[in-house]
Amino acid sequence: MKKRHIRMMVGVAILAATIATVAGSAATQSTVQKSYHRPSTRLLSEATAALTAYLAHGHQTALHAHGLRNGLSGSPSATTSYNWSGYADVASTDATFSAVSGSWVTPAATCTNEDQLTSEWVGLDGWNSDTVEQDGTLDWCFEGTAFYYTWYEMYPAGTIEVGTSLQPGDAISASVVRTGTSYRMALTDATNTANSFAIKKTCAATTCVATSAEWIAERPAFSIGIAPLADYSSWTLKAGKETANGVAGSISSYATSYQVYSIDATDSYYLDTTSALKNPNQFTTTWLNSY
């Protein structure tokens, strides 16, 4: 009876822990924000300087791997990348896409002492071209502490960090809109407007060919290698939209749409996974490994 009693007590403890875990995963946006302790001004300055130096090594476009392993998804359009996960609509004709947008809640990063990065963004180009016009949020693990930024980039020009007061739980909407050779990159942080921006840049039609639209969680790739993927737990992209050939649509409305899983350099295991689309414009990526 004594052993049975012990087993019952252990079972109750496990059940309680499970309930606590489920309750924690269902925390509200305000709870996520409340649990985040903002780093000191000095540490934020040091981290931003380190990140700027890191990004100066040359952010790269998508690095493609092989077709999907192990039948993880039945989708014929599923594929893998060494640094991207999410969805990409892809065309073979220049100037196909003129807009992309989406919204999300900034995820919270769990850091180790290793420097790690995860970037969540929407953008045009980069899948089958040498440029990317993009904007989004970035989770930067620097010396064991998480820092968060809003940013935009006209790759191969460098990433521009705009907002340094971003926090987990902030409500984000982002878009890239092309009008001829003009690109408007806009991001709104509805929780803290200091992180919002709207920037216009130009790019020649022969350079920025607008042959893809993306909704991506990324471990950035640089000339010195690919950054370890920060543990962001999960990221849900909502309201994913694009405009192709002048027609507004959702992620799944374009004929060629890829569901992308991030895989390690040996093609042996996944770094994060990408869910099937919920409705035509929402999905979730889930972190599994750093590298």
Over residues 45-94, the pLDDT tens digits come to: 999 999 988 888 877 789 988 777 655 554 558 899 999 999 999 999 99
At residue 70, the pLDDT reads: 54
Concatenating the DSSP letter of every residue in the chain gives -HHHHHHHHHHHHHHHHHHHHHHHHT--HHHHHHH--PPPHHHHHHHHHHHHHHHTT------EEEEPSTT----TTEEEESSEEEEEEE-SSTT-EEEEEEEEEPPPPBP-SS-EEEEEEEEES-SSSS-EEEEEEEEEEETTEEEEEEEEEEETSPPEEEES---TT-EEEEEEEEETTEEEEEEEESS-GGG-EEEEEE--TTTS---EEEEEEE--EETTEEPPBPB--EEEEEEEEEEETTEEEEGGGSSSEEEEEEE-TTSSSEEEEEPPPBTTTBEEEEE----
Largest CA distance in the chain: 79
Is cis: bond before 228, omega within 30 of 0?
A: no
Instruction: Give the side-chain half-sphere CA count within 13 A for 142.
Output: 19
pLDDT at site 75: 56
C-alpha distances in angstroms, 109 versus 91, 118, 125, 169? 34, 8, 27, 11
Give me the pLDDT at residue 77, please: 84
What separation, in Å, do the N-terminal and C-terminal C-alpha atoms of the chain show? 48
How high is the pLDDT of residue 56?
84
pLDDT at 1: 42
User: Is 15 domain-assigned?
Assistant: no
**What gap in Å lies between CA 125 and CA 99, rounded to an integer?**
11
Q: Which residues of the chain have pLDDT under 50?
A: 1-31, 74
Sign, CA torsion 275/228/212/191: positive
**Predicted pLDDT at 175:** 98
Q: How far is CA 217 from the centre of its chain?
A: 2
Rounded (10°) CA dihedral 46, 175, 181, 126 = 70
Taken in order 7, 12, 17, 18, the sign of the CA dihedral is: positive
Cβ proximity of 108 and 147 under 8 Å: no
250 falls within a domain: yes
d(CA 280, CA 29): 24
Domain of 241, CATH number, reads 2.60.120.700
The predicted structure's pLDDT at residue 5: 38
How many angstroms separate the Cα of 203 from the Cα of each of 3, 157, 179, 200, 206?
73, 11, 11, 10, 8
> Is position 63 within any domain?
yes
- Asked if residue 16 is part of any domain, the answer here is no
* Number of domains composing the chain: 1
Residue 150 placed within a domain: yes
For the segment 15-29, what is each residue's pLDDT rounded down to a tens digit?
333 333 333 433 434
Q: Is residue 264 part of a domain?
A: yes
pLDDT of 74? 47
pLDDT at position 96 is 98
Residues of the domain holding 163: 41-287
Residue 29 within a domain: no
d(CA 262, CA 205): 30
State residue 32's pLDDT score: 54
For the record, the structure tokens of 2 come out as 């004594």
Evaluate whether residue 139 is within a structural domain.
yes
The predicted structure's pLDDT at residue 21? 36
